[in-house]
Amino acid sequence: MIQILLLFSISFSLGVYLILKDLLKLPSGRAVKAVHVIDKRERKKSKNFEVLINEWAIRLSKVVHMTDYSRRRLTATLKSANIKLSPETFVARAWLKAGMMLLFIIPALFIFPMVFPVVLFLAVAVYFKEIRSADESVRKRREDIEFELPRFVSTLSQELKANRNVLNILETYKQNAGKSFKNELEITVADMKSGSYESALTRMEARLNSPSLSETIRGLIGVLRGDDGVVYFQMLSHDLKQLELQRLKTIAMKRPAKIRKYSFAMLFCFLMMYLSVMFVEIIETLGKLF
Contact 210, 140 (CB under 8 A): no
Which whole number is the average pLDDT over 144-156?
A: 87
pLDDT for 230 equals: 85
* Greater pLDDT, 232 or 254: 232
Alpha carbon 253 to its chain centroid, in Å, reads 26
- In sequence order, which residues have a C-beta less than 8 Å from that of residue 27 and are 6 or more positions away? 35
pLDDT, residue 32, reads 53
Query: Which pLDDT score, from 0 to 100, does residue 41 have?
Result: 47
User: Would the pLDDT of 168 be above 50?
Assistant: yes
Non-local (6+) Cβ contacts of 207 within 8 A are 76, 79, 80, 184, 187
> H-type helices in the chain, by residue range?
2-24, 29-42, 48-60, 68-80, 87-102, 105-111, 116-131, 133-159, 166-174, 179-194, 197-208, 211-224, 230-289
What local confidence, expressed as pLDDT, does residue 30 receive? Answer: 61
Average pLDDT over residues 193-215: 85
CA distance from start to end of the chain: 83
| Range with the poorest average pLDDT among 159-173, 197-211, 255-269 | 255-269
Contacts 24+ apart (CB under 8 A), 26-30: none
Q: What is the pLDDT of residue 21?
A: 64
What DSSP designation does 27 have?
Answer: P
Position 190 pLDDT exceeds 80: yes
Please determine, for residue 85, whether its predicted confidence score (pLDDT) is greater than 50: yes
Q: Is the pLDDT of residue 45 over 50?
A: no
Task: With a cut of 50, say whether residue 212 has pLDDT above it.
Answer: yes
Angstrom distance (rounded) from CA 131 to CA 207 = 19
The closest of 95, 42, 106 to 66, measured between CA atoms, is 95
User: Looking at 155-169, 202-216, 231-245, 250-264, which range is the least confident one?
Assistant: 250-264
CA–CA distance, 215 with 210 (Å, rounded to integer): 9
The whole-number pLDDT of residue 20 equals: 65
Tell how far CA 59 is from the center of its chain. 24
Assess whether pLDDT exceeds 80 at residue 63.
Answer: yes
Round the average pLDDT of the chain to a whole number and report it: 79
Q: What is the chain's length?
A: 290
Q: How high is the pLDDT of residue 8?
A: 63
Integer angstrom CA distances of residue 240 from 16, 37, 131, 144, 221:
69, 42, 32, 14, 19
Q: Which residues contact 186 (CB under 8 A, 6 or more apart)?
A: 174
46-51 long-range contacts, CB within 8 A, separation 24+ = none
Q: How far is residue 200's CA from residue 178's CA, in Å, rounded to a whole number?
A: 20
Q: Is the pLDDT of residue 250 over 80?
A: no
Contact 79, 137 (CB under 8 A): no
